[in-house]
Every structure is written in C-alpha cells, then in structure tokens.
Structure 1
Amino acid sequence: METKLISSGDEEGLKLAASLLKSGNLVAFPTETVYGLGANGFDSEAVAHVYRAKGRSLSNPLSLLLADVSQIEKVVTDVSDKAKKLIKAFSPGPITFVLKRKNIVPNIVTNGKDTVGVRIPDHEIARKIIRLADIPIAAPSANTSGRPSPTSAVAVFDDLQGKISAVVDGGDCAVGIDSTIIDCTQEVLTVLRPGVITLEMLRQVVGAGSVQMKEDIIEQNHYAPSAPMFILEGAPNKIEDEMKSYIRKAVDEKKRLGIIASDELIAGISNDVLTYSYGTRGDMKAIAGNLYRALRFFDDHKVDVIYAEGIDKMGIGLAIMNRMYKASGYRIITL
C-alpha cells in the first residue's frame, strides 16, 4: 500500500483525507497532543484495521475524536453535570472523557465495554478533517504499539508507512504527550491517565472532593524506546555525578550511551555520549514536547542504553514522569 503524504495547507488534500476516512481507510493526522491514527468510528472493519496496523491488542479500547461539543450526544449518554462542567471548561483540549456509550458505537471500539472515551482536539486541522468526514474518528496514537507516540509526520512514516492510506503533515505537535483521561461515569470522577490538564485544574472546576487520581497508574511497558532506559531521581548534583560515572563506564566498555536531561545537566557533562535536552529545569511545556522526540532520537541512533534525568512530579510533571516511567519499564534509580 502506498501511503500518501498530505500537507495540512492543501485544502483538496484534506478533503481527500476525510473521504478516505469515511470510506473505511486509515489516515494519520496531527492533534495538539500527538499524531492520531484515524478510522471511521462507526465502521467495525476500519477499526479492526487500526488494531492490525498498530499491532495493538483488541483488549485495549479506543477513544473517539469529535469536531465539537455538539457531537458528543451522538455517541454517549448520561453525561453528568460535573462532566458537562469539565467539557465546557476544557474542550477543545488535551483531555479525554470516559462516558456511557450509545449502542451506535461498535463493540470493537470499546472492547465490549459500556463506556467510551471522547475528545475534541484543540487542533484546527484535526477538527477540520473530522468535520469534513462528518463522523466520529476512532484515533489512538499513530505509532506501532509499544513505541513512543509520534509528534511529527516523519515519526508516523517511520512506523506505519505502507500500512495506512495517508498521513496529514501538520508539523510538530504543540503539547507532545497524550491527553489526560478522566472517567466521568461515577459520582467521584477518576483521572485514569495524567496529562497537561492536571488534577488541580480539574478540581478548580468541580471541587476538590469530586475528582480523584487512580491510585495505581502503573501499566504495561508503553512508549518504550528500543534500548533499556533508566530514570535517575534525586538532587540535581547527585544525578549529574551519577551520570558522569555511567558515561565513564560506557566509554570504557565501548557502549553507545544516550542521555535525556535538562540543559543545566547536559552543560556539565562530557561530549563523549549522545545527549538530548528536554529543556531547562522547570519548563514543563518544553519537557513534555521533547520527551517522545528524545526517545525516537535515540532509537534512530541505535544506542545501547539510555539514562534520563527525572523531574518533580508536581502538576504537569506527574504526567511527564508517568510517561518516563512507562518508557523505562519502571527502572528507577533513586539517589
């Protein structure tokens, strides 16, 4: 299969992308979080193709992307007042709401569950494609399952070229990590996956007692680079000293070592290893945007091992560390 590359500025190309989706083909396109792999959310065979193209387990349900709030009632029911407040406050945006699904949503989308995630992306090209297709789009991240989520069209091509019909190139994603997921089906709402819409932000809208974080957010290895990855946590000076010892060892053993860290740490270490800066300490937006790019960078350079500087788990930092832990398989070195 030839995978077409469509520019986000090509109006006819966007119409083609929408037409391909509506007719059961797969099209990857940008959102503000990561690139999504889209399929007609009402077409069971198209959705099955998503699982095959990604190598994704059928037990892992998909979410639906919608063009605007008015489309939500077409696919879900029993939307509580709390959920409505959050939808109004944060949509369009990087947050997925888990709600009771209507029967029109195929079982294969939800793995037979009576709930489905819905999101309105804060990305004009994504919403335009969905509007043109005039259907909900089942859209997980546009990568091979288990690999880092793609934040560029090039990353999508690396994983899915020849497996899908088209990729819409909209440049790099602004947010860079996957959306917050919140279960809105119970009296107390539960954050299932942290994201840039934080627990604190949600509580400001519906009250502190109305939203909780899922206690155990440890999941199977996900977002993983090819090389084993270790997370170093502790005081910055201790992390830097430990990084230097790993560098010396890697040089002695002739191993290709990769370092993901802040500008501050990288400035103090040797040039004998590959490094990728995720930004300055405390710049959470930059760190989120660079994390998956860093993981794919080290895949491209075929390093033997990766060491990463951990960050504070406050606010957006919790979402970033959630992804880093998964990428490392929870290999954590506490200093």
Structure 2
Amino acid sequence: MPNLSIDLDRALALLQAGELVAIPTETVYGLAADASQPHAVAKIFALKGRPADHPVIVHIAGKAQLDDWAQDIPAAARQLADAFWPGSLTLILKRKPHVPDAVTGGQDTVGLRAPAHPLAHALLTRFGGGLAAPSANQFGHVSPTTARHVFNEFGERLPLILDGGPCPVGVESTIVGLTGDHPTLLRPGGVPVEAIEAVLGVKLVHHEKPATAQMRVSGLLDSHYAPRTPLLVGPLDALAREAAQRAAAGERVALLHRSQMLLAVAGATAHAMPMAADDYARALYASLRELDTGGFDALLLETPPQAAEWLAVNDRVKRAATGWLS
C-alpha cells in the first residue's frame, strides 16, 4: 500500500496544493482538505459521494484559532475549548463571513474541533489553517478506524493516507450547538455529556427538540455508519431465534454479542464484543467492517446497555441498523 505513510512534509504539500489526504484522529480517520479552498473541499464531496448541502467539520490546531472561523463566540464555547481541546468535541458556532459555503452547507454556522491525535495535531500546527475532514469513507458507510480501512475504501484514489495506527476512541466527536439560547447536544460522541454539563453548569438540550430539528450537522441522518450487510439489532434470545431461522433457510449470519456465556447457535458465527462502553466504542466500527466482508447474509447485534455511558454507542447502532427484533 504505497500511499500509506507518516510523511508530514508530503501531507502538508498535498494539502497546500488543494489535494486530499486521509488523516488519523482519536475518533475516526478523516478525509482532509484545506477548508479555505472550496475546490479542494469539493473533492471530498466527490470522492465520498456526500450531499453538497451536508456540512463538514473544520479541524484546527487549538482554541487560538477559534476567532479565525467563528464570530459572536459565547463564553460557553471558550469554556468547553479550555476543558476539552484538543479532544473529541465539536462546537457549532456562528461562522465568519469568509468561511466557504462548501464547508458549512450554506448555513450560517460552522463546526470546529481540535483533534487530540498527535499526528493530526502536528499536521494542523504546521498547516496553520483549518482542515475540512469528514470521515474517510463512502457517505453513509461504516467509519474507518485504521489506515487500512481507508485504503480498503478508496485504494489509490487517495494520494496519501497518514497512518497513525488504530483510533483510540473509535466513534465520532460529540457535537454541541452554541448558537441558540441554550447549549444543545446535537450528536453524542467521544466526550461524555455529563462531563460537558459539569463544565457548563447546565443541562444540555437534546437535538430532537423542535427548535433545532432543521439544523444540519455531521452524522445526524437517520441512516448512517451502516455496513452493507443488513444489520439487525435486538435482545440475545430474539437474535438466536432469527439466526436459527435464517440458518435453516441456508443463510450465513454473524452474531455480535456481549453475553459472557453464549450458547452456540446453529449456523451462526459468534463475534464477541467488549463489555465496557469505551472498549465497545473502540471496537464497534472495526467489527462491523470485518464482518461486512465475511460473505454473511445478515449481521445480528445484541442490543447494547442503555446506561448513560453507552449513549454514543447506541446512537451509532441506531443509525447503522437495518431493523430491530424484539
């Protein structure tokens, strides 16, 4: 795979020339372009097959660049940047006039994040500007958490994939909207909601509320993060029945489970998932990608726990699922 590298000099030169580079972050790998060059950002949309009105997050080196991209920045935004940047938190703020529509989807807001991955941070520090960088995969497909995932998705169509190893968080950033009267959770992710609320001293409003229903941000489509193999979610007993029925019909199924004692299900390939929420999040996309290439007719996933620390996992599972069993 000749386009996998840790060559920051080459990455910098390609980005400055308006080309694409896949970069590691602590959440997932991103497909990066110079956010100030609309023609470069357009290459992201073309390669991903992403709708043109779907905004992308701008990645910056740190809080010192907030004012380069946003205006009317509330104190809450600076509090959160102080507390969680570099890290897995994206802030939605009022955009500066010069920010390209190609980045914002034509909206008056912009999403900003300072990633914590050392390779991405070093690149951004040297680059000096902002990098538009949605996940490095075909639009709607399972996000990549290794450089090989990116290569499997795009091959030689990308001039460079910076190989920073497996992503240590494994699901996308938490997105908080700060343009209204109240801080709003738009997407759960790598930073727990409770930690954000502790810093702000207020509860976050959730994005299902009518006031924010029309806001477009990354990762809010009903169907997203999905494997190409149908993914059914439900309790283990319902999955076992489904697996047995499908096996009897000659289908091949994989069963993703957390149960410590799993009875063998005839005709199903068992795939154990981690017990802890953080470990599960780190393994989720890699597991779905691995099984998606296994020639299965269906993937059956045991419903994750509903406790607060599982919020981001459950959000991704909900958007990835084809259907639900009970």
TM-score of the superposition, structure 1-length normalised? 0.90
2:106 aligned residue: 112
- How large is the RMSD of aligned CA atoms in angstroms? 1.7
Aligned-partner Cα distance in 2 for 1:204–1:100: 24
Instruction: Give me the identity figure in percent.
Output: 32
1:263, distance to aligned residue in structure 2 (A):
5.1
In the TM superposition, what is the alpha-carbon distance from 1:86 to its structure 2 partner? 1.2
Note if 1:274 corresponds to 2:269: yes
Per the alignment, residue 257 of structure 1 pairs with 253
Gaps of 5+ in 2: 214-219
Q: Is the 8 A contact 2:27 2:171 kept in 1?
A: yes
- Deviations 1:259-311 (CA, angstroms, capped at 9, x unpaired): 1121515x43347422322212xx00111011111111121112111111112
For residue 22 of structure 1, report the CA deviation from its aligned partner.
Answer: 1.3
Q: Does 1:290 align with 2:283?
A: yes
Q: Does 1:145 align with 2:144?
A: no
Q: Conserved in 2, the CA contact under 8 Å of 1:32 and 1:123?
A: yes
1:3–1:163: 8 Å Cα contact kept in structure 2?
no
Offset, 1:177: 0.4
- Unpaired segments ≥5 residues, structure 1: 8-12, 233-238
From 239, 245, 248, the equivalent of 1:243 is 239
The offset of 1:225, in angstroms, is 0.8
User: Quick check: 122-131 or 216-225, which moved more?
Assistant: 216-225
**Residues 20 and 40, structure 2, Cα contact 8 Å, conserved in 1:** yes
2: CA distance, partners of 1:98 / 1:156: 27
Residue 189 of structure 2 aligns with which residue?
195
Shift >6 Å, 4+ stretches: none
How far apart are the structure 2 equivalents of 1:124 and 1:168? 12
Aligned to 1:219: 221
Q: Choose the corresponding residue for 1:77, options 71, 77, 80.
A: 71
Equivalent residue, structure 2, for 1:173: 167
Shifted more, 189-198 versus 147-156: the winner is: 189-198
Q: Which residue of 2 aligns with 1:333?
A: 325
What is the aligned partner in structure 2 of residue 6 from structure 1? 5
Q: Do 1:37 and 1:141's aligned partners in 2 also have CA atoms closer than 8 Å?
A: yes
TM-score, normalised by the number of residues in structure 2: 0.92
- What's the CA shift string for 1:143-170, capped at 9, x where partnerless? 0111100000111011112322110111
Alignment match of 1:230 (pick from 208, 212, 232)? 232
Instruction: Work out the number of aligned pairs and report it.
Output: 317
How many Å apart are 1:103 and its aligned residue?
Answer: 1.9
Amino acid at match of 1:149: S
